[in-house]
Amino acid sequence: MFDSISHTNLLVVIAGGLLLYTLGSRRKNRLPPGPRGLPIIGNAHQMPTELPWRVLSEWSKKYGEIMHIDIVGRPLIVISSSKAATDLLDKRSAIYSDRPHSVMAHLIGYDETLALLPYNDNWRKQRRLIAQDFAPSNTPRYYSLQEKEARILVRNILKDPSSLFSEVKMRIGTIIIRVVYGYYIQSTDDPILTIPLTAMENFSYATAAGNFMVDFVPAMRYLPRWAPGAGFLKITKKFRATFLKAASGPYEWCKDNLETGMTLMPNLCGTILQESNGELSKDAQEKLMWASSSVMGGGLDTSMSSALTFFVAMIRYPEIQAKAQAELDAVVGQDRLPAISDLVNLPYIRAIISEVFRSSPSIPLCIPHAVRQDDIYNDYLIPKGALILPNIWHMLHDPELYPNPMEFIPERFNGSDVEMDKVKDLMFGFGRRVCPGRYFAEGTLFAIIATTLATCKILPALDANGKELIPEFAYTSGTITFPKPFTLRLKPRSAQAAAMLAEVSSAIE
Ligand code: HEM
């Protein structure tokens, strides 16, 4: 952690810092503005770890849409306007699609997977595998699974509202593992689910900006294991073992069970393996395994975060809930459960989903990009190798574009899909790295949101004295942000709604 720089790692920091500082100082004058730092360590001591997007948002009000921060000589460029993000990450995507090299990510092996791979041929191949399977034309084949899991989710939360967080994780995890590997999770302690979940927790910790000094002073990786400050080496070893198991376990299961018929089709890996008639090279199989593991990494926590934000919003705004239910009653009626194909006819529900995305983007600072070569933007130098952090949270809380940005107001879009799309165009990232799971994610969220609203009243939990507990919009820090724990009550809107949920089969399919 940064707090510990001045104690354990001071010498290494100074040595690494001096080198980078000397190399970087020639260019300093033309860099974008930013907070004044200290010699050598730059702004490292000021980098916020608590909700950093909020602090960077405040800084950008002073320094502008392109801000330079110096972390021990490593330039970090924060982009705080959608125009600059589009100009650079979309329009100049040929040079802005790299990922920064992270020693921690490399030691653990995360940079083998699509999301963190450098912009190279391996990335292109993995990306093609995922983009194809989750293209808008392909996602409808998974609708019935998404609808079914959303219904089981609501049924289970109705039974036990305290299971909200674990159920949301379980159901979204079940959807992803089913569509990627053809395996249907049936219990929360299934290692096919729990090992990837642990790997994801590790990932979040290992990649959160500022958690490991070695990312700023790469020479630290050569420290002997016993040296002060080398504790990260033990962590990388442990995280790597879990990570490998998380990627290979479900992949091998899928492959082994194609012949036994237990692998449920269609699914991403099974389809590709089957189409290759057993002739997929070792290298191609490895790419498929890593690309597949990115789906869990990219899709679970992000979707879970948005689903939980929805529940907080509905508890806080019962009038929005009532309006959405009126729309559902008018369009879907009360004799059946909503289907994903209803989405086109439900503009208010679409506005709620967009407002969930706007108010609390799950990856508020995006996954950092890196720039391949020196670039000039508005007369400022963006130096080769700089880490590029688009502050999506800030862009979606610009009061000029979104008045009262901290309020949850689906009406702000005036029912315009063009305005709603502007939110999604930021929330899912940029350029060639834009989220390939966007349409699939929207399907899962719509199924959860529409099914809950159609069948239940979402109410605040009560304390021991019967007083309502209204949750705040309070979020965790980290690459992916979540609502902090909260409780709720669900009540069926009618006996018919409860009966329709009870009838949903939980059979393997
Ligand atoms: C609410 C849900 C989701 C949100 C908010 C979200 C957001 C994002 C963002 C911001 C990025 C980084 C884009 C960039 O670097 O510019 C990303 C990348 C990625 N997402 Fe998603 N995502 C979601 C769901 C999913 C799902 C369901 C999948 C599964 C298919 C997925 C797979 C990925 C992958 C593989 C990447 C890395 C792409 C690359 O580096 O080329 N995401 N996502």
- pLDDT at residue 29 in the model: 53
CATH number at residue 397: 1.10.630.10
Task: Work out the widest C-alpha separation in the chain, in whole angstroms.
Answer: 72
The pLDDT, as a whole number, for residue 51 is 94
Residue 26 pLDDT: 46
Out of 129, 302, 427, 442, mutate this one to test ligand 1's pocket (max ligand atoms within 8 Å of CB): namely 302
10-residue mean pLDDT profile of the chain (509 residues): values are 36 43 52 95 90 96 97 94 98 97 92 94 96 94 97 97 96 97 94 94 81 83 89 94 97 96 96 90 95 94 97 98 98 97 98 98 96 97 97 98 98 98 98 97 98 98 97 93 97 97 87
Report if residue 161 sits inside a domain.
yes
Residue type, 315: I
Query: Which contacts qualify for 325-332: CB closer than 8 Å, 24 or more apart?
Result: 325/453, 325/454, 325/493, 328/450, 328/453, 328/454, 332/450, 332/454
Alpha-carbon Rg for the chain, nearest whole angstrom, is 23
Distance 97 CA to ligand 1 centre (A): 14
**Do β-strands 488-492 and 456-462 pair in parallel, antiparallel, or remain unpaired?**
antiparallel
Residue nearest to atom 25 of ligand 1 (CA): 299
d(CA 182, CA 195): 17
How far is 267 from 51, CA to CA, in rounded Å? 37
Domains in the chain, number? 1
Q: 393 CB under 6 A from ligand 1?
A: no
Strands 387-390 and 74-79 turn out to be parallel
Residue ranges making up the domain that contains 374: 2-32+40-502
Q: Let me know if residue 509 belongs to a domain.
A: no
Cis amide leading into 266 (omega within 30): yes
Gap between the Cα atoms of 258 and 100, Å rounded: 37
Rounded CA separation 497/456 (Å):
8
Distance from the CA of 302 to the center of ligand 1, in angstroms? Answer: 8
Per-residue pLDDT at 18: 44
Structure tokens of 87? 């100009």
pLDDT score recorded for residue 209: 67
Q: Ligand 1 within 6 A of 134 CB?
A: yes
Nearest alpha carbon, ligand 1 atom 21: 435
The protein residue whose alpha carbon is closest to atom 43 in ligand 1 is 435
Residue 81 counted as domain residue: yes
Residue 3: predicted pLDDT: 32
Whether residue 109 is contained in a domain is answered as yes
Residue at 508 is within a domain: no
Closest of 163, 112, 30, 52 to residue 390, by C-alpha: 52
456 is in an annotated binding site: no
Measured distance CA(396)–CA(378) in Å, rounded: 22
DSSP-assigned letters across all residues of 230-274: -HHHHHHHHHHHHHHHHHHHHHHHHHHHHHHT-S-SS-HHHHHHH
Would 301 be classed as within a structural domain? yes
DSSP letter for 459, please: E
Atom of ligand 1 at shortest range from CA of 295: 29
Is the CB of residue 88 below 6 angstroms from any atom belonging to ligand 1? Answer: no
Q: What is the pLDDT of residue 456?
A: 98
450 falls within a domain: yes
Q: Which residues contact 505 (CB under 8 A, 6 or more apart)?
A: 148
* 53 within domain boundaries: yes
Residue 438 CA, ligand 1 centroid: distance in Å: 7
Residues 6+ apart with CB under 8 A from 265: 182, 271, 274
Report the C-alpha gap between 346 and 492 in whole angstroms.
21
